[in-house]
Structure 1
């Protein structure tokens, strides 16, 4: 079973619907016991980094997330991906979950339309289990104004938008993050979700 963490800042129903469409068992969860019992975990998210972390802290799930992400497949989506880094700088400096070394900074390159919204091409950089069924000319759907800043070794794929934007990150063990919305990215996004479920 895949646990979708419902902490008040997620696009939880679109993720749940995508997993249902794929015939994958999942549940919206709010308690530690359900996260611990799950075979894999998804952390969705929309909104601002500090308020999302505040809600996560209030949920009492932060320590559980850190513990479970060290031993089972874990996927952060959109803001959920940003939260897996050490720091965020949206409105203020804020500690993240620290699952991958790096920070989240504002996209403020000149002449760019922000937010980065719409379809963009995935460019592979490093091997990653979630990309095994993804070709070299596939597009995914983004909506974001901040981007991850981390070492290349953590970037499985990126998109070009005024420079390299980490699109899919991977710690080499259990932790994955998608800046794009796989649940809104057509067949390509479904392939990625299917591959994530295949890690169980």
Structure 2
């Protein structure tokens, strides 16, 4: 089963509905045992990095997510959830992330306007990657002011907004989408479907 982590950071219903439409049969939970053991864990999130880490720690989920990664079990982070996968963030201070993918979350420096809000093209590193199967275009929806600065070997696709930034990252069974697949129409749904088939 797929579980969506409830740590009081963002609207879980839109993510859950998109997953249901694709046959993921998702459940929303904050139960550590389920988050450790279920087939696929999705970490969504909207808001501040600091608050997200605080909530994960208070619910006992920070260490559980790290343990799950060590066990090689799939995790998908979406938007803020993707940023939490990295080593640290400099959003309004300096805060430790899950460190599942090496890198730092930093604020846009060359963006024409912050936040980056709206539709933008993914720029795949390798269009033959299974994540991009059956896509007619790469147009997806973003809302964020910070992005992950990481080694290109972890980047599946970039996007550009004043500067190039990672839009999809991957390390082993850990995936991150900076965009919102649940708000990205048929492209977002197809990418979620492709990911499910890969896992």
Q: Provide the TM-score with structure 1 as the length reference.
A: 0.94
Q: Alpha-carbon deviation of 1:128?
A: 4.4
Which residues of structure 2 form unaligned runs of 5+?
none
Q: Alpha-carbon deviation of 1:134?
A: 3.4
Q: Give a deviation string over 1:109-143, Cα, whole Å, max 9, x none.
A: 16x111001000010114644233435x3200000
- Structure 2 residue aligned with 1:151: 151
- Structure 1 residue aligned with 2:44: 44
User: d(CA) in 2 for partners of 1:29 and 1:49?
Assistant: 20
Q: Alpha-carbon deviation of 1:160?
A: 1.0
- Structure 2 residue aligned with 1:197: 196
Number of residue-to-residue matches in the alignment:
197
Q: Which deviates more from structure 2 when the two are superposed, residues 94-103 or residues 8-17?
A: 8-17
Is 1:32–1:61's contact at 8 Å kept on the other side of the alignment?
A: yes
Q: Alpha-carbon deviation of 1:69?
A: 2.4
Q: Counterparts of 1:1-200 in structure 2 under 5 Å?
A: 1-70=1-70, 71-109=72-110, 112-126=112-126, 128-135=129-136, 137-171=137-171, 173-200=172-199
User: d(CA) in 1 for partners of 2:59 and 2:52?
Assistant: 10
What is the SS of the residue equivalent to 1:81? helix
Q: Which deviates more from structure 2 when the two are superposed, residues 84-93 or residues 20-29?
A: 20-29
Q: Give a deviation string over 1:144-188, Cα, whole Å, max 9, x none.
A: 0001100111110011111102100011x1000000000000011
Is 1:73–1:199's contact at 8 Å kept on the other side of the alignment?
A: no
Q: Alpha-carbon deviation of 1:66?
A: 1.1
Q: Alpha-carbon deviation of 1:7?
A: 0.4
Q: Provide the TM-score with structure 2 as the length reference.
A: 0.94
Which residues of structure 1 form unaligned runs of 5+?
none
What is the SS of the residue equivalent to 1:97? coil
User: d(CA) in 2 for partners of 1:51 and 1:32?
Assistant: 19
